[in-house]
A and B are shown apart, each in its own frame.
Chain A
Amino acid sequence: MTVTKILFNMRLKTMMVLAAVAGAVIALRLIDIQILQHNAYLQMAERNRTQIIYQTAPRGRVFTSDGVEVASNAPSFSLYYLGSNKDSEYLARLAHDFAPQLQVTEEKLFQTLQSGAQSGKAVLLAENLSTRSTVSLQELRFYYPGIYLVEETKRNYPYGVFASHLLGYLGSMDDRQWRKRDTKLGYRLTSKIGKNGIEKKYEQDLKGKDGGIYLEVDYRGRVKSIIEDKKWAAGSDVYLTLDFAVQQAAENGLKNSLTGRGAAVALDPRTGAVLALASAPAYDPNVFVPYSDQPIENTAKKINEYNLAIQGIYPPASTFKVITAAAALESGLLDVTRKVYCSGKYNAGSRIFKCWGTHGPVDFMEGMAHSCDVYFYTVAAQIGAAPIERVQRMFMFGRPTGIDLAGEKAGNLYGPTRRARNKTYWFIGDTLNLSIGQGELLVTPIKLAQFAAALASRGNVYRPYYVEKIVSNQTGKEQIVGRPEILQHADLKPETYDMLFKALKYTVDNGTARRVKIKGLDVYAKTGTAQNPHGEDHGWFMAFAAHPGEEPSIAVAVFVEFGESGSSAAGPIAREMLEAYFNNPAHAAKNKTETDYNELLVGESNAPF
């Protein structure tokens, strides 16, 4: 072998080794791209070729216990542009023709179109279009390829303000919320979410799964085929414990009351279920989900989220006398037949305490019926403040009712031990103030309703609940949400309850609560007028009712702010609520037939109070 041949051989081998090394590097990198990073690249490829025009799923509906749909869905349309045509002249023409239909300015629509065309993605031009404008849009669509009209649904509240504080409303997400969203539910930046009340709390159930048209597009955004037309899955329905008629009566009553400000709560004393929870002023949640092509009054967007029923705290006034009476009866020191002379004032030594009237000689029954302050001053002075505070604790005053609503206020318990903890003194004047429910004592309307219900059930303090069950629209599965839950039992003697029931019935029959006297029903009630140094007095009304011989099935508390007096302002509302409740054949007496019952009510409604 020649020298040259050896050299050639060597250099050829070098080249071959070089090729082998290069081949190995290439193969390794290929393995990296095609195996190790396969999933990431596959996703990118899928994102490249798929365009989705989403179809928002209808939200779950909300029903009252008697099956009235109080939150439903109305048909609406969304307009999308997914086009390959990036020509700005075409887009300008498009914007010019569509802008008048969509209630947007031409420039804004043109910008939206341009940014959409640049990104190559489907861009939402308008949502929540009403059926009215879709007719003309359908026609226009034929002249402009790339325009898609998608049928969707939008939230609708058929009864407007009905239970708006409970239902809540919908709104758009901001960036921060969107980033924190539950990714499983497939939210988009344009998705609406519940902002308050049930809409917010049960967002996950109500949401449903959005559908959409999955389109295959080429690199210029031209649609090649439809990959999948995925149907939406509607959200689950929520069933409330609310009674439609009672809630309606409460809202109408509050709206037509002296000031139009107040709250009314009705509970089922047997379970703690909320039959009505109204707060005035209320708002119409429909203003947050308007049809975009119809003008909205901006004033309507100013809403009052303040829920007076759970957030308003006021002194309970005379309604509290029931507690004082209970404490006195429980102590065994009270002789119910003993008469106290009311001259309109009570001398507490250093100070004169006034009564709201001059009642003459009153016994326990009369004292309750006419809500005589002097009678209760006398009783309180006799038993002291400590038993009254103890009974307050039994009924869980000063603590929230525990209803599943955000922002509930606790109110304030008032008594000597509370004072002692604050290291200040307790005077006789405090005892007297406490006995008639004035002073530092504060309750919310729902707390008073809970108290009324606890009284009606002879001591069971239930946690109020307003959602009964959630029913899936897909599987039909029922999920029970609200169950009766006794928070505490107010362990008073049966005789005490008997006496209180008697006194409260006497108040309805002969006393200040005559307005709720309904023939054929046992109604127990107590009025209250909270002294207000800043203006007119507040009106309170607390009642519960039963068919004769049955246990009470409804407890009501009504509050009218600046209502001047409990019996005149709040009483009629309570009566309407009770009537609405017992009007319902489902709530008829068990030992009576339906027809009897209806006759009874027709006759009663015309009777004078």
Chain B
Amino acid sequence: MLPFKKISTGRSRMDFMLFGAMIALVVLGALCIMSAVNSYSWSNPIVRTHFIALPVGLIAFFVGKSFNYQIYDEQWKALYGFILLLLIGVLLFGSYQRGSRSWFVLPFFSMQPSEVCRVCTILMAAAFLDRRGRRIREVTSVFYLGLLLLPIFGLIMMQPDFSSVVVTLPALLVLLFCTGVNLFYLALIALLAGVTGFFTISWTYIYLHPELLEIPSVNIFYALARNGWYMGAFAAGMALLGYGAWWLCKQLRIYLPSFYFVLATLMVLAGLVGGIFVEHQMKPHQRKRVEAFLAPRSDPQGAGYNVLQAQIAMGAGGIMGKGLFSGTQSRLGFVPERHTDFILAVVGEELGLWGTLCVLGLYFIILWRIIAVAYSSGDRYGYLVCAGIFGMFFTYMLINYGMLIGIVPVAGIPLPFISYGGSNLVSSLWALGVVQSVYSRRLRA
């Protein structure tokens, strides 16, 4: 059994284990960032920005902790408006950097509103689900939530900020799962994502292996994304297939509701539409990442270079590591994005296996404590908020580690608390503050 029952009965105003793990990660992160940019001087803009962001983040943490989390529940419509306002604002007034319009550049600092929106979306979705009450198991709950979130994701994709979607969607799935949504719906959503992913990945795979195009069926399949006639024919074919299967079942005296057949056909078609959408939305560098994931060693100088260099850094660190500020891979710039997405490579090279396992362990403590807080929360909203935030951090951890060890494509996602990135640090600390707020009010509600 998991041991979170006992601890949850304490009367403390703050979960110190969660707080301690958080502080440890932040300190470790600050050290690693300084090492990654090979500077501990104030004159380095990255070090400076990070050390300005740190107190701001701590303030955000305490603000999150002292505010009653139920405010978000009550004011969820205002929260929704705030999110839309931010996202529309950034599209109108944001600055265009690195192919996406996702930054507010202010006189003294710049911020990325989608980071804050990520936490706000979870708070808002939790509030919505809390309000559904006993009707949570109905399919309409999921449907309405999707409808509600559609403008948010639409606006984010207009920036576009792919990584934000990649983190928020799984977090929302975890939230839905913990809310008690019928598993069937969740399975459908997962299936939809799976079919979409299947189309995307198989098209990329065919693209990487052009010799497969000589097989006619593969060729037609590959042309699905580009040719409207093929798409129509495919849709008609799928409809026919669904009908045929239903008819066959009927002839065999197997009585299944026709709803399932319609649903299955729709799922495949929706997956195709999703796949085509992703295929056309994907930017060249994102396509490269998928390619590198499918064939990491095929182009060591190109797309696979980043992951390979990161792995070299980690492997070179060994058990004990080379010591802070002594990693050659990071210091000499072989590991790209070493202070943001690939910060773990720096940890691995300079602090060794102990470092990477330490970060993993601290993350695990954080996840465990969030769940403990969720369990002990005084009301359902607190529980849902914790589940959503758990989902968010879990996704972060999974993707960031997975990307390094080669089981997930490179997604360009930072590791909260460790990576450089003010907006991300502040919103992550705020999210943990909200969790603390749930904890401190567990006995009152």
Residues of A within 8 A of B (CB): 4, 7-9, 11-16, 18-20, 22-23, 25-27, 29-31, 33-35, 37-38, 40-42, 44-46, 48-49, 216-220, 224
Closest Cβ of chain A to B4, distance in Å, is 8
Q: Are A42 and B315 in contact (CB under 8 A)?
A: yes
Chain A CB within 8 A of B401 CB: yes
Task: Render B354-369 as a binary contact track against A, CB cut-off 8 A, 1 for contact.
Answer: 0011001001100110
Other A-B pairs, 7, CB within 8 Å; known A9-B375, A34-B356, A42-B318: A11-B178, A15-B390, A30-B348, A30-B356, A33-B315, A33-B348, A45-B313
Given contacts A7-B180, A23-B360, A49-B332, contact A16 B318 (CB under 8 A): no
What's the Cα separation between A41 and B309 when bound, in Å?
9
Which residue of chain B is the closest to A219 with respect to CB atoms? Answer: B333
Selected from A7, A9, A26, the residue in CB contact (under 8 A) with B360 is: A26
What's the Cα separation between A22 and B318 when bound, in Å?
22
Mark out the residues of chain B between 292 and 335 whose CB falls within 8 Å of any chain A CB in the assembled complex: 309, 311-319, 328-329, 332-334
Inside 8 A of B174's CB, which chain A residues have their CB?
15
Chain A CB within 8 A of B193 CB: no
Q: Are B318 and A8 in contact (CB under 8 A)?
A: no
Chain A CB within 8 A of B435 CB: no
Q: Are B348 and A34 in contact (CB under 8 A)?
A: yes
Chain A CB within 8 A of B353 CB: yes
Q: Are A48 and B180 in contact (CB under 8 A)?
A: no
Inside 8 A of A48's CB, which chain B residues have their CB?
309, 312, 328-329, 332, 334
Which residue of chain A is the closest to B374 with respect to CB atoms? Answer: A12
Q: Are B316 and A45 in contact (CB under 8 A)?
A: yes
Given contacts A48-B328, A49-B328, contact A38 B360 (CB under 8 A): no
Inside 8 A of A11's CB, which chain B residues have their CB?
177-178, 180
Selected from B2, B360, B383, B407, the residue in CB contact (under 8 A) with A16 is: B2
Mark out the residues of chain B between 408 and 437 whose CB falls within 8 Å of any chain A CB in the assembled complex: none
Which residue of chain B is the closest to A34 with respect to CB atoms? Answer: B353
Which residue of chain B is the closest to A20 with respect to CB atoms? Answer: B364
Selected from B316, B367, B374, B391, the residue in CB contact (under 8 A) with A41 is: B316
Q: Are B398 and A22 in contact (CB under 8 A)?
A: yes
What's the Cα separation between A246 and B356 when bound, in Å?
75
Closest Cβ of chain A to B274, distance in Å, is 24
Mark out the residues of chain B between 363 and 396 whose CB falls within 8 Å of any chain A CB in the assembled complex: 363-364, 367-368, 371, 374-375, 380, 383, 387, 390-391, 394
Inside 8 A of B402's CB, which chain A residues have their CB?
26
Which residue of chain B is the closest to A220 with respect to CB atoms? Answer: B333
> Would you call the interface of chain B mostly helix, strand, loop, or mixed?
helix
Inside 8 A of A14's CB, which chain B residues have their CB?
177
Task: Render B155-180 as a binary contact track against A, CB cut-off 8 A, 1 for contact.
Answer: 00000000000000000001001101
Chain A CB within 8 A of B275 CB: no
What's the Cα separation between A46 and B315 when bound, in Å?
12
Chain A CB within 8 A of B148 CB: no
Inside 8 A of B312's CB, which chain A residues have their CB?
41, 44-45, 48
Selected from A9, A25, A30, A41, the residue in CB contact (under 8 A) with B357 is: A30
Q: Are B374 and A42 in contact (CB under 8 A)?
A: no
What's the Cα separation between A453 and B163 when bound, in Å?
91
Inside 8 A of A219's CB, which chain B residues have their CB?
332-334
Closest Cβ of chain B to A546, distance in Å, is 72
Which residue of chain B is the closest to A29 with respect to CB atoms? Answer: B405
- Offer 8 A-B interface pairs, CB within 8 angstroms, sorted by A: A15-B371, A22-B398, A34-B352, A35-B353, A38-B316, A38-B317, A45-B315, A45-B329
Inside 8 A of A220's CB, which chain B residues have their CB?
333
What's the Cα separation between A167 and B193 when bound, in Å?
76
Q: Are B383 and A8 in contact (CB under 8 A)?
A: yes
Q: Are B405 and A26 in contact (CB under 8 A)?
A: yes
What's the Cα separation between A40 and B312 when bound, in Å?
9
Q: Are A218 and B319 in contact (CB under 8 A)?
A: no
Given contacts A15-B177, A33-B314, contact A218 B333 (CB under 8 A): yes
Inside 8 A of B177's CB, which chain A residues have their CB?
11, 14-15
What's the Cα separation between A16 and B178 when bound, in Å?
11
Q: Are B332 and A19 in contact (CB under 8 A)?
A: no
Q: Are B332 and A8 in contact (CB under 8 A)?
A: no
Inside 8 A of A49's CB, which chain B residues have their CB?
328-329, 332, 334
Closest Cβ of chain A to B232, distance in Å, is 40
Q: Are B2 and A30 in contact (CB under 8 A)?
A: no
Inside 8 A of B394's CB, which chain A residues have their CB?
15, 18-19, 22
Selected from B315, B352, B391, B401, the residue in CB contact (under 8 A) with A26 is: B401
Q: Which residue among A27, A34, A40, A219 has the maximum number of chain B CB atoms within 10 Å of its CB? A: A34
What's the Cα separation between A224 and B328 when bound, in Å?
11
Given contacts A34-B315, A35-B318, contact A217 B332 (CB under 8 A): yes
Q: Which residue among A35, A41, A42, A49 has the maximum number of chain B CB atoms within 10 Å of its CB? A: A41
Q: Are A41 and B314 in contact (CB under 8 A)?
A: yes
Q: Are B178 and A15 in contact (CB under 8 A)?
A: yes
What's the Cα separation between A397 and B313 when bound, in Å?
70
Q: Are A216 and B368 in contact (CB under 8 A)?
A: no
Task: Render B82-125 as a binary contact track against A, CB cut-off 8 A, 1 for contact.
Answer: 00000000000000000000000000000000000000000000
